[in-house]
Amino acid sequence: MNDIVRANAAGTSAGTGSVADPVADIALLLEGTYPYVRGGVSSWVHQIITGLPEIKFAVIFIGGERKMYGPAQYQFPPNVTHVETHYLLNQDKPLKPNARKGDRRAFSEMDELHAHMRQSSTMPVEKMTKAFSRLGSAGGISHEDFLYSEASWDYITRQYRERCTEPSFVAYFWAIRAMHAPLFVLADIAAGLPPVRAVHAISTGYAGLLGAMIRLRRNIPFVLTEHGIYTKERKIDLAQATWIQDHNDDVCNTLHDEMGYIRGLWIRFYEQIGRMAYAQASPIVSLYEGNRLRQIADGAAAEKTLVITNGIDLQRYRVAFEKRGEKIPPVLGLIGRVVPIKDIKTFIRTLRMLVNERPDAEGWIAGPEDEDPSYVNECKELAASLGLQDHVKFMGFQNVLEILPQLGLMVLTSISEALPLVVLEAFASGVPCIATDVGSCRELIEGNSEEDRALGAAGSVVFIADPEGTAKAALELLNDTARWHAAQQAGFERVKRYYDDKLMFSSYRNLYVKALDSVPDAAKPVKVA
């Protein structure tokens, strides 16, 4: 782990645990997003912090490796009073191998916890409290015991013999190590976090598990918001992951039941840590009804779930709307990270088909290109191979307020979304949208209720990975002025009526007030006998 700490407003460094007064009201637990990576989730986090200036926030960032992240992309507002940065895969002081027996009682307790997980049964709170309060310390399983003890070796080899169906022991052994090593980093973060009144994780995964650990250790409120469904997105990533070697190459890169054991083991791991987060969090927030139902299907208690939609500052985008010219620009914009989940290649293929009918058409790809450089190169090579050098522009990160007035259509070809802010931004700027039928895109474009649907369609919904259908939808809007203006009006009215950020701020203000009012008078770490 590498822990970089910015002193809080009172001049106290993180990790001391000696501050009587909280360093913040809410600690935001952020995995791979704000403040180091731009994107919809990071924009939302910054929006929440700036929109609730009366709340003091601590920012706890969790990343993979330090080299994956550059400098901070956002300037912290004054109400950010504490910041920590942690890397799950970095070791400042690598542990040296040393022979040790290990605590077999602690491994036995872990075995019981794993048994509950495999049965997808409710995990007893006292067992979870005991496991996570002791993790990484004396009386539990220390990091050294996990890596080098006889008890750990015996446990792993027994699990391999009893449960593993096909890979070599070496593959199984290193998979188990890779899965569990970050948990000790999380345990250190939970133990060293200075006093806060509540925590708010913006995903399940490692951030959500950290929230569960803090909840169990300190008995303070834990709020969870999911933009996308973390476990679903990890399944997509893992199905395509080439670093996992399946025993049968024919089933690699699929999501069906015949995938290899190690790939399935990783998927089950993320499912289970998601269930742990759901078990400890309250409330559990999603951005739209479809994701709320998915959370329940994945193990969240229905009575703890609620929907709070995204919102935007309408006044901020009025300038973009007023800059629009009278003509409809034959420009398709894709604003987002250049990564596989955004399916940039389908956007490029869409342009190839569109240009055949509209030689004046252009496609602008405006978003960060540093997350997956190999994929960026593949996309640029595809554009060149299709003869689109003069029609597709890779623009990198841009100010959306400058880009939006120049677009005729906003296009999302993503294979997974939640409630994309960029669609709301486009609507507020007078740009109709074409989007794949993922997340809340259909209800954003077509409406969510009878009253909402009466406003009309603000664009078109298309199939995933369908460049022909996407190009056809673009042509129908670009070539029909009346239809385009009707879509523009529908989108503008929809965002004004249902997605004003004042509604979102009010909802989160009430949520935080309720959480903070429930904080025990003396919230202290839970003591486990």
Domain boundaries, the chain: 1-8+22-97+191-229+281-311+500-520, 104-174, 314-499
pLDDT tens-digit map of 446-472: 999 999 999 999 999 999 999 999 999
Instruction: Tell whether the model's pLDDT for residue 197 goes beyond 90.
Output: yes
Task: Identify the pLDDT of residue 16.
Answer: 36
Q: Where does the pLDDT of residue 375 fall: very low under 50, low under 70, confident under 90, or very high at 90 and above?
A: very high
pLDDT at 523: 53
Say yes or no: do domains 1-8+22-97+191-229+281-311+500-520 and 314-499 share a fold: yes
96/94 Cα distance (integer angstroms): 6
Q: Which of 120-134, 141-155, 511-525 has the lowest average pLDDT?
A: 120-134
pLDDT tens for 79-91 read: 999 999 999 986 6
Residue 123 vs residue 273, higher pLDDT: 273
**Predicted local distance difference test score (pLDDT) of residue 517:** 92
Give the C-alpha separation, 512 to 285, whole Å.
Answer: 12
pLDDT mean over 422-451: 96
Report pLDDT for 312.
93
Cα 196 to chain centroid distance, Å, stands at 23
- Identify the band that residue 19 occupies on the pLDDT scale cut at 50, 70 and 90: very low
Give the pLDDT mean for 399-407.
95
Mean per-residue pLDDT over the chain, rounded: 88
Q: Please name the amino acid found at residue 133.
A: S
Which of 48-52, 126-130, 344-348 has the lowest average pLDDT? 126-130
For the segment 303-317, the average pLDDT, to the nearest whole number, is 94
Q: What is the pTM of this model?
A: 0.81
Which residues are registered as beta bridge partners of 334?
365
pLDDT at 259: 67
d(CA 27, CA 192): 13
Instruction: Specify the 3-state DSSP secondary structure of 206.
Output: helix
- Mean pLDDT for 278-296 is 93
Q: Is residue 436 predicted with pLDDT exceeding 70?
A: yes
Calculate what percentage of the chain has a pLDDT beyond 90: 64
How far is Cα of residue 515 from the mean position of the Cα atoms in its chain? 22
pLDDT reading at 314 higher than 80 = yes
pLDDT tens per residue, range 473-514:
999 999 999 999 999 999 999 999 999 999 999 999 999 999
pLDDT band at 20 (very low <50, low <70, confident <90, very high): low
For residue 86, what pLDDT is reported? Answer: 95
3-state secondary structure string, 499-518?
CEHHHHHHHHHHHHHHHHHC
Beta bridge partners of 434: 411, 460
- How confident is the model at residue 529, as a pLDDT? 40
Question: What pLDDT is recorded for position 127?
Answer: 67
**pLDDT surpasses 90 at 14:** no
Nearest-angstrom CA–CA distance, 146 and 473: 55
Give the range among 135-149, 176-190, 401-415 with minimum mean pLDDT: 135-149
Checking if the pLDDT of 315 tops 70, the result is yes
Which tens digit of pLDDT belongs to each residue from 223-262? Answer: 999 987 777 777 777 777 777 766 554 444 444 445 688 8
Confidence check: pLDDT of 528 > 50: no
How is residue 261 written in tokens?
């054991």
Superfamily of domain covering 314-499: Glycogen Phosphorylase B; (3.40.50.2000)
Q: Which residues contact 450 (CB under 8 A, 6 or more apart)?
A: none
Q: Which homologous superfamily is 1-8+22-97+191-229+281-311+500-520 in?
A: Glycogen Phosphorylase B; (3.40.50.2000)
Q: What is the pLDDT of residue 264?
A: 84
> What pLDDT is stored for residue 233 in this prediction?
78
User: What is the C-alpha separation between 274 and 300, in angstroms, rounded?
Assistant: 9
